Structures are given as structure tokens and as C-alpha cells.
Chains A and B, each alone.
Chain A
């Protein structure tokens, strides 16, 4: 039964993606559609990214939870690479960065894989955040000390710590009878809602009445996009409630939270990009935006979605394995 639900969810999304791809092909074929080609191109690139994301995610579900943790771990590593590349550090930070990339980041995902919630929930905000300034101080270079710590720690928090909460959904005990399929569905539901929220906020921002929220940071994020986008996602979350362990009203509420957090994430990363004077994190990889541009909303939404789920499970008196 539950296997069929998973298959239905993944299959349904693949059908939707196929429909989107066909629609874009058709729209591109006729030039008189009156649609802005730039918007169409953006949408085409997003759909392409979703194809990759969905197929990779679906593939790891079939391999198992460890594969999912590894997949997100590699993603975090790549996102951190993009973040630190565009963040100026000093040569004396080299050793600290080595520790960040090869010790802290992998350790976070190993702990998630081991379901060690008591440790992975504090590894970065407690231990790493104290070790990093210590290591930098040891190098004896005090120039812009606080600034350098802040940059490295912000990168670690957003790209590694926050993102690790997405595969951590795989480690939760969702019901008295534990089945892996339910976790895979929950993670897929979460990723789906984040992506839909991105797309719908963008789509709703195209309507003629436009009130840009923060013109200095993001010229295409409008109040209309945020309000109608979040409302649509809330509705869709309610429609997809059967894929989650929540009742329909909670699935809708969680989707609203995901949508708002996703908005905050993408705005935050845009502010950093603006400050660095680049259009996207992938400017070093020519032709397409970086991975961080695709997952910024995911990073911000993951820890909140995880903890809200945890509160709900606690209220249901479902004990967790740790």
C-alpha cells in the first residue's frame, strides 16, 4: 500500500514535469505566443533543473536512506565551494578552510546518517563555531578577524548545517509502524513544496500589478508573488496531504511555512550576491547558475520543516530513535 503511494507521488511529479517540458517546447516553437522569451527561458532552465533533482532524488530512494544522505552531503560540499569561492578570505584562513571542508562538513552528514540527533543538531552551531575562531586566531593574522569568522561560519551554517536537515527527514520515526517509504515521501513532499513555491512566487510576480518588496536586492520578488505564491503552495500542500504523515490542515500549514522560509532564503542569498557584485553563484561555471542558486530556499526551509515535524511527532507521542 505505502509503496504504491510513493510510486504515485514520484510518478505524478514526473508526469507533471513531462507536461511542463512539452508545454515549453510547444510555446518555444510558436514565436507569436506573446510570452516574454526571457521568462520562458528562465522557466525552461528551472524545469530542466527539476528533472535532474527529481530523478536523482527518486533514484536514491530506491537505493536507500544512506544514498540520500550521501547525495545531500555532496550537494552541500559543492554549495559550500561556491559560497567560499565568492567570499573573500585571507591566505591565513587556508588551514581553517581545509578543516571546514574535509572534517566538519563530512562529519555533519555522517552524524545525520548515524541518526545522532543530539550531536548533529549542535555540531556546527556549538563546536564548529568555537573551533573556527580558535583555528583562525592560531594563525596569528588578526586582520578583519571577526569578518572572516562570520563569512566562513555563515557559509557553513547555510550550505552544510541547514541543508543536512533535508536528509535528516529520512531518519525520523514517523509512526508506530516504521516504514522507510513514509520518510522518502515526506522528503519528496518537502522538496516538491520548496520547488513549487519558488516557481509559483516567480509566476505570480509576472502579473501586471507589481509591488517589488526590496528593489535594491531582488527586482523580481514582489508582494503579489509572495502572497499569491504562498497561498497557492498552501493549497497544493493541502491537496498533497496524503503523501505526508500530517492531517490535511497541517500539510497545508507546513507548506506555508516552507514557502515563507524559502522566500527568506532566496532573498538572503541574493543580498550576499549583490554585495559581492555577482549575478549568481555559478558565474565561475559558465552557462548556468550555480547549485546554491537552485537550493537557497531549500537550505532555509529544511531545518524549520524538520523541527516542526518533530514537534508534531512529539505531540503524537511517537518516540524518536535517539
Chain B
């Protein structure tokens, strides 16, 4: 039975990586009107750095981390053996193919299938990385995800200063301190329009900036 030792190795690796990410990003996390929980959730955050997913994932308590999968771009995270190992084995990332989106298998369908009744997700609804000045408009994925699974708790997250640690187009990180703010859960209201919902979700992330 090699599985037990493999699992130990993976969870040790997870622990080590989470600590490294915390140290590198100097991240302190705050929960505002919100608590860490292993229930099924979708953490949605602003996106400014390649490190965002890893840092957010590391900021969660170990038991929550075990059931939380970052949604990440396949083209970036399958480049090179180390990245692929980290994405598939350690972070248990849900890799989405950005170049080849099929009609019958949209990213939202893949997410719903993959999380089942157990996993939570980390998503970045802006679609791409911003410059850290302003949170961009949200893509519609979050809306369709909530429409198909209205039971999922949506947790807004604001990542501060990550763009200065590893900005777009840079290879080397500068070890500044960052701050991760988790907000209160929200849901898609019945009959709420797509535009209104996306606006409300974006507002929830932006509001956390003020705390």
C-alpha cells in the first residue's frame, strides 16, 4: 500500500510550500465578518500576480486547504516539470484550457464536475492579471457557476500588494509584505440579473480594500 506514504509526502509538501509562500509574501490574513470553514465555497479575488493563487491557498488553515482547489490556466501551469508537479500534485489545481474552449465542455462545467460535493474553489473572475490599481470588470463565469450551484458560498477576497511582490511580466519576486482580506459570504439572489450580480460581486471585493 504505497498510497499512505504518498499522501504523507504530499501533505508535508503542501505544508512546506504553504509556509514558503507565507514567508515570501509576508502575508497576514484577516477574516472580516467571515470564518474559515471546510464547507463548499468559491473564493473569488482580484488578480495581479502569478503568486495570487498560491498565496491565497496558503493563507487558508491546513484543513480548509486540503479541500480547496485553485482554478488556474493550463498553459502557464503545465510549462516545465516543477510547475506541473506543483499544480497537479501539491495545489491540486483545477487546470483550465484557455486556448481550446469547447462548447459542450465549458470551464464552468469542468469546475462543477471536478468539485463534486467536497471541494471548494479559488477563482479570479477578472480573467487576467491587472496592474493592482483597480479591480477589473468580472467575467461571467462566477455567475454561471452560482446559477448551476446556488448552494456554494461565495467568499470575496482582496489581495493587497501582491502586484508589487511579483508584478506582471517579471520573473523575480521582491519580498514585500502583503495582506489578504476575506469578506462575508454572498450568494446569487433569485432572479438577480447577470450584470447586477457581477457588479455586486466586484463591489464586494473592492470594498475589502477599505478595511
Provide the bound-state CA to CA distance between A284 and B170, in Å: 24
B164 to chain A: closest residue by CB: A89
Q: Are B174 and A98 in contact (CB under 8 A)?
A: yes
Q: Which of A276-314 contact B (CB under 8 A)?
A: 284-286
Quick one: CB contact mask for B174-186 with A, threshold 8 Å, 1 for yes?
Answer: 1111110000000
Provide the bound-state CA to CA distance between A98 and B173, in Å: 7
Quick one: CB contact mask for A75-86 with B, threshold 8 Å, 1 for yes?
Answer: 001000110110
Q: Which of B161, B163, B176 has its CB near the most chain A CB atoms (within 10 A)?
A: B176
Q: Are A101 and B175 in contact (CB under 8 A)?
A: yes
Say if the beta carbon of B107 comes within 8 Å of chain A. no
Quick one: CB contact mask for B13-27 with A, threshold 8 Å, 1 for yes?
Answer: 000000000000010
A117 to chain B, nearest CB (A): 28
Provide the bound-state CA to CA distance between A82 and B28, in Å: 13
Say if the beta carbon of A91 comes within 8 Å of chain B. yes
Q: Which of A77, A85, A101, A286 has its CB near the most chain B CB atoms (within 10 A)?
A: A85
B173 neighbours in A (Cβ, 8 Å): 98
A97 neighbours in B (Cβ, 8 Å): 174
Chain B interface residue number, banded: 10 to 19
B95 to chain A, nearest CB (A): 28
Say if the beta carbon of A211 comes within 8 Å of chain B. no
Residue A286 contacts which of B30, B163, B167, B178 (CB distance < 8 angstroms)? B30
Say if the beta carbon of B195 comes within 8 Å of chain A. no
Say if the beta carbon of B82 comes within 8 Å of chain A. no
Provide the bound-state CA to CA distance between A94 and B48, in Å: 14
Q: Are B170 and A85 in contact (CB under 8 A)?
A: no
B28 neighbours in A (Cβ, 8 Å): 284-286
Say whether, besides A284-B28, A285-B28, A81 and B175 are in contact (CB < 8 Å). Answer: yes
B177 to chain A, nearest CB (A): 4
Say whether, besides A85-B161, A91-B131, A285 and B174 are in contact (CB < 8 Å). Answer: no
Q: Are B167 and A91 in contact (CB under 8 A)?
A: yes
Q: Name the prevailing secondary structure of the B interface residues.
A: loop
Residue B174 contacts which of A82, A94, A284 (CB distance < 8 angstroms)? A94
Residue A81 contacts which of B26, B163, B167 (CB distance < 8 angstroms)? B26
Q: Are A82 and B177 in contact (CB under 8 A)?
A: yes
Provide the bound-state CA to CA distance between A95 and B172, in Å: 8
Provide the bound-state CA to CA distance between A285 and B175, in Å: 14
B5 to chain A, nearest CB (A): 35
B173 to chain A: closest residue by CB: A98
Q: Are A94 and B176 in contact (CB under 8 A)?
A: no
B30 to chain A: closest residue by CB: A286
A287 to chain B: closest residue by CB: B28
Provide the bound-state CA to CA distance between A101 and B175, in Å: 8
B167 neighbours in A (Cβ, 8 Å): 91, 94
Quick one: CB contact mask for A56-87 with B, threshold 8 Å, 1 for yes?
Answer: 00000000000000000000010001101100
Say whether, besides A89-B164, A91-B131, A81 and B176 are in contact (CB < 8 Å). Answer: yes
Provide the bound-state CA to CA distance between A225 and B7, in Å: 60
B128 to chain A, nearest CB (A): 16
B171 to chain A, nearest CB (A): 10
A284 neighbours in B (Cβ, 8 Å): 26, 28, 161, 177-179
B92 to chain A, nearest CB (A): 28
Q: Are A81 and B170 in contact (CB under 8 A)?
A: no
Provide the bound-state CA to CA distance between A85 and B30, in Å: 18
Provide the bound-state CA to CA distance between A101 and B176, in Å: 10
A/B interface sample: 22 pairs, CB < 8 A: A81-B177, A84-B174, A85-B26, A85-B161, A85-B177, A91-B167, A94-B167, A94-B174, A95-B170, A95-B172, A97-B174, A101-B175, A284-B26, A284-B28, A284-B161, A284-B177, A284-B178, A284-B179, A285-B26, A285-B28, A285-B177, A286-B30
Taking beta carbons and an 8 Å cutoff, which residues of B are in contact with A? 26, 28, 30, 131, 161, 163-164, 167, 170, 172-179
18 other A-B residue contacts (CB within 8 Å) besides A94-B164, A94-B167, A284-B179: A77-B175, A81-B175, A81-B176, A84-B174, A84-B176, A85-B26, A85-B176, A85-B177, A89-B164, A91-B163, A91-B167, A94-B170, A97-B174, A98-B173, A101-B174, A284-B26, A284-B28, A285-B177
- Shortest 10 CB-CB contacts between residues of A and residues of B: A85-B177, A97-B174, A284-B177, A85-B176, A285-B28, A284-B179, A98-B172, A91-B167, A98-B174, A286-B28
